Amino acid sequence: MTNYLYQEQNWQSQLSDLITDPRELLEVLQLAPEQLLSGAILASKQFKLRVPRAFVGKMQTGNPLDPLLLQVLPHHLELEEHPGFVTDPLGEEQANQQPGVLHKYKSRFLLTLTGACAVHCRYCFRRHFPYQENLPKNEDWINIKQYLESQPDINEVILSGGDPLTLSNQKLKTWIERLESVPHLKFLRIHSRVPIVIPNRVDEELLSMLKNSRLRIILVVHSNHASELDDFTCTRLNQLVQHQITVLNQAVLLNGVNNSAQVLVDLSYRLFDAGVMPYYLHVLDKVKGAHHFDLASDHINEIYTEVLASLPGYLVPKLVREIAGEKNKTPLFGVSTFLS
Ligand SMILES: *Cc1c(COP(=O)(O)O)cnc(C)c1O
Ligand code: SF4
């Protein structure tokens, strides 16, 4: 699609003008609504459609199997029940004691400042997570600070979500300054899909705020397919790199979207063009409603073996699964060979 409007429009307007109606999305893409519409309307009742126009602009019109569309269009298959696919696959409801914080991994502390995302990814493990009740308020900072100070092993705070880059620069600044005041923190990590779906979010103010922080900043973006990375998006990602921010990518292995070695190889090279290093390739979390994105382990092994053979080691994302209760993400490839 040719849609260059989004390169001009500021990110705040783009964020307040998302497509949320399945009928509109299908019309914009010139897809015959009756094929997909009824399922989309039903499935969107459980987890709403939400997608920025800039992201839709990267989709192919007339292609109901477009890999970007499949990630965001609600589908009737989401309504099927499948054994093992549950609402809280990672057991986060239990782990979550204080509002908005999660300390599962030794050196890293997860802080959720917003439950909102710019895009709703249909495979997301958070599609059933009750954030709104559980976000830290300004007055909670005192408790969070005390906790961080009592845990000298924590050297990194991760802003996750929801998506922290849906917050205003002012709000982000307030939290970054708070974190900077904890002496033993060294790293601030931001997990966000916004630079991919609304590249204009990477504005001057954000760049200079991150560049000037005392904390070393790592931005982990989330892109699953090279088509998400058009020239404009890559330019914005590269500006982050130019401002001394380490930019990494995590992807999720998704049936119908990127379940081919060639697609993953193209993604890695495209990221590298933008100065972004591949980090994780996640196996799907078994969340209710996402079964149709799942892949058999044999198929995963086959794809990943080919990825390993095709890319230089530094462009191979680590294949991992998150297992509830484990002390880190679990690597899925090569460990058994190494141990035997
Ligand atoms: C994924 C995750 C992290 C970060 O793990 P890394 O392996 O360092 O990327 C931290 N805390 C929680 C709860 C996580 O799920
Ligand atoms: S942007 Fe991230 S947290 Fe938000 S719906 Fe997509 S995968 Fe989930």
pLDDT one-digit tens code per residue, 159-210: 998 999 999 999 999 999 999 999 999 999 999 999 999 999 999 999 999 9
Averaged over 270-297, what is the pLDDT? Answer: 97
Annotated domain spans of the chain: 4-79, 92-338
User: What residues contact residue 24 under an 8 Å CB cut-off, 6+ apart?
Assistant: none
The yes-or-no verdict on residue 337 having pLDDT over 70 is no
- Ligand 1 cavity residues, CB under 6 Å: 102, 104-105, 108, 110, 158, 322, 328-329
Q: Whose CA is nearest to atom 6 of ligand 2?
A: 121
Residue 99 confidence (pLDDT): 83
Topology classification of domain 92-338 = TIM Barrel (3.20.20)
Residue 37 confidence (pLDDT): 94
Residue corresponding to tokens 């239990």: 94
Q: Which atom of ligand 2 is nearest to the CA of 126?
A: 8
**CA 247 / ligand 1 centre spacing (Å):** 16
| Mean pLDDT taken over the chain | 93
The yes-or-no verdict on residue 335 having pLDDT over 60 is no
Q: Per-residue confidence at 325, pLDDT binned at 50, 70, 90?
A: confident
Instruction: Write out pLDDT tens, residues 104-149.
Output: 999 999 999 999 999 999 999 888 876 666 799 999 999 999 999 9
Q: Which atom of ligand 2 is nearest to the CA of 120?
A: 5
Rank 21-35, 88-102, 281-295 by mean pLDDT and report only the highest: 281-295
**CA 1 / ligand 2 centre spacing (Å):** 24
120 lines ligand 2 (CB under 6 A): yes
Q: Whose CA is nearest to atom 9 of ligand 1?
A: 329
Instruction: Write out pLDDT tens, residues 58-82.
Output: 999 999 999 999 999 999 999 999 9
Averaged over 242-248, what is the pLDDT? Answer: 98
Ligand nearest to the CA of 106: 1
How many angstroms separate the CA atoms of 194 and 321, rounded? Answer: 23
